[in-house]
Amino acid sequence: MWHYDAPLREMRFVIEDVLQAPAAWRSMPAFADLDMDTAAEVLAQAARFASEVLQPLNGPGDREGCRLVQGHVKTPAGFAQAWASFVEGGWPALACDPDVGGQGLPQLLNAALFEMLVSANHAWTMYPGLLHGAYETLLAHAEPALRERYLPKIVSGEWLAAMALTEPQAGSDLGLVRTKAAPRPDGSLAVTGSKIFISGGDHDLSENIVHLVLCRLPDAPAGPKGLSLALVPKFLPDGSRNAMVCDGLEHKMGIHGSATCAMRYDGAIGWLVGEPNRGLAAMFVMMNAARLHVGLQGLGHLEMAAQNARRYALERLQMRAVVRPPGASAAADPIARHPAMRRSLRSLQAVAEGLRVVAYQAAMWLDEAHRHPDAGQREQAFARAAFLTPVVKAFATHWGFQGASEALQVFGGYGYVREFGIEQTLRDSRIALVYEGTNEIQAIDLLLRKTLADGGAAFERWLDELAPAATAHDAFGSALSDQLAAARAALGSLRQAQPDDPEAPWRVADDFLMGVGHLLLAWAWARIATAARRCQDDAAWAAERESLARHGVAWVLPQARVHWHRVSAAAPLDEVRA
């Protein structure tokens, strides 16, 4: 019943035909040896791991959950063994630098890998989810001795990592963090404080756990400019247990198999990573990758929900359809024939295929930002990815959750029942709209920090770069042209409003992000249609890609109107009263 068929063919189509990544790889020495067949073989292996090892642990892991037993976190049955086999397969090192033991493959393939892991088992995927972020932070900011001690074990996956940021009074506002770090004579730090919502703060998957803890040195300035980052391992180099303990596990709506820890550091020994008071800067290195990663969670959930709902709807017989299959005489048709279900199922599939293009494009730009031999190209790719990242994070997670809810509806009453799987997807998918910067924070990042800070100039250049996909004289071309025009008009009206009404952009940032999300879908669908027309080997399969893209333009894209309208109106907003 509930199972995962990795969309390997669709993934290859996006990577090879839509994004034309193999040509880009050839222009980057780091990936010059990689070809599409090799990449496809890597993804096929990942798909087997996701379907055969991870997915069967998903439902049982949800029911068993994590437990805190005498101060130690016990993960659900099978989680630790799955981690061991993931490490054995070399997966943690996939996109790490060969200089430090990595396989040096593109982030693009890592993105496809993580989409599959999340589709199969979000809770389990939380454990490696922060590994790459920790890797990047240490690679860029740790002193050589620290880096040598910790980085290889993180690259191999022998040790896992945790990011310890949030405190009860400091959620979205990290400037309110209070955890203290006191210098010790040997140059290390004694870290003291309480953290909450620490994913993988403790568990039984790896021997050691490397915490990156946001804290304050003595006499640090108040607010975000007084934050430092410390590496605090569960076990110290001499093998002794560090003075840190998991105080409790959160009882969450979903991802029960992921240990969400309250951590207490009682003078735990750690080492500074990066400059004093520059802890946020050290963390920003990993921000784009981490937010893209959360966006991929949205895509993974949407794909899983859509494919399972589709399978169910093709089998479940209820009522005769208004237009029946030729020759139908049974008492009932598959519900997939009923117009309401058809619309839902095709919308979910169209959005999943469009979002995959957008999310993988972000990963590909990150690859170019890091690995392109030309500095100008690196800079341009970084700027492109910077716009895409908050949109992928917020828009894809929005769709992961909404798509799960639409898919649940396809299952009717069974959708509400545990055994059918979809209700877990709905519960698991909800967290992704919150963590790694709430979706509202992403919207502010996109509109206030990245777009309006320079009056919209860079954003408009970015729109110009998307425009070539709109040149076709067809539904796709005109849909994207409309979106580009709407985005420019919305930006223009905000520029006009802002001087007299500085709050205006803050009121409509969410709509601006949603508008841009739809614009990116229009862009993706146009590119899918173009690529599909080039495909010669299986015309029916390619035509279905174009047909789904066309469905998206007709049925999903109209939603953009509301968002652009609200941005342009930027209506006033009264106070909330008790």
How far CA 116 is from CA of 45, 121, 276, in Å, comes to 11, 9, 38
Is residue 220 a contact residue for a second copy (CB under 8 A)?
no
Cα–Cα distance between 176 and 184 in angstroms, integer? 24
Minimum Å distance from CB 408 to a second copy?
Answer: 7
- Please list every residue from 14 through 53 that binds a second copy, using CB under 8 A: none
Cα–Cα distance between 264 and 191 in angstroms, integer? 10
Residue of 44, 332, 485, 539 interacting with a second copy (CB under 8 A): 332
Q: Compute φ and ψ for 434, nearest 5 degrees.
A: -105, -55
Site string for a second copy, 436-475 (x = CB under 8 A): --xxx--xx-------------------------------
Residue of 222, 239, 375, 536 interacting with a second copy (CB under 8 A): 222
Residue of 45, 471, 496, 559 interacting with a second copy (CB under 8 A): 559
Nearer to a second copy, 116 or 431 (CB): 431
Cα–Cα distance between 111 and 114 in angstroms, integer? 5
DSSP code at position 503: T
Site string for a second copy, 289-328 (x = CB under 8 A): ---------------------xx-xx--xxx--xx-----
Cα–Cα distance between 318 and 334 in angstroms, integer? 6
- Please list every residue from 353 through 372 that binds a second copy, using CB under 8 A: none
Tell whether the torsion through CA atoms of 277, 281, 282 and 286 is positive or negative: positive
Nearer to a second copy, 467 or 562 (CB): 562
- Please list every residue from 489 through 528 that binds a second copy, using CB under 8 A: 502-503, 506-507, 509-510
Tell whether the torsion through CA atoms of 66, 303, 284 and 140 is positive or negative: positive
- Please list every residue from 412 through 431 that binds a second copy, using CB under 8 A: 412-419, 423, 426-427, 430-431
Minimum Å distance from CB 543 to a second copy?
Answer: 10
Residue 101 in contact with residue 158, Cβ under 8 Å?
A: no
Site string for a second copy, 255-294 (x = CB under 8 A): ----------------------------------------
Minimum Å distance from CB 319 to a second copy?
Answer: 4
Nearer to a second copy, 156 or 547 (CB): 547
- Neighbouring CB atoms inside 10 A of 453's CB total 12
Tell whether the torsion through CA atoms of 372, 377, 380 and 381 is positive or negative: negative
Classify each residue of 472-506 as buried b or exposed e, where b means 16 or more C-beta atoms within 10 Å of its C-beta.
beebbbebbbbbbebbeebbebbeebeeeeeebbb
Minimum Å distance from CB 203 to a second copy?
Answer: 19
Is residue 342 a contact residue for a second copy (CB under 8 A)?
yes
Residue 87 in contact with residue 157, Cβ under 8 Å?
A: yes
Minimum Å distance from CB 346 to a second copy?
Answer: 6
Catalytic residues: 436
Residue of 237, 339, 455, 468 interacting with a second copy (CB under 8 A): 339
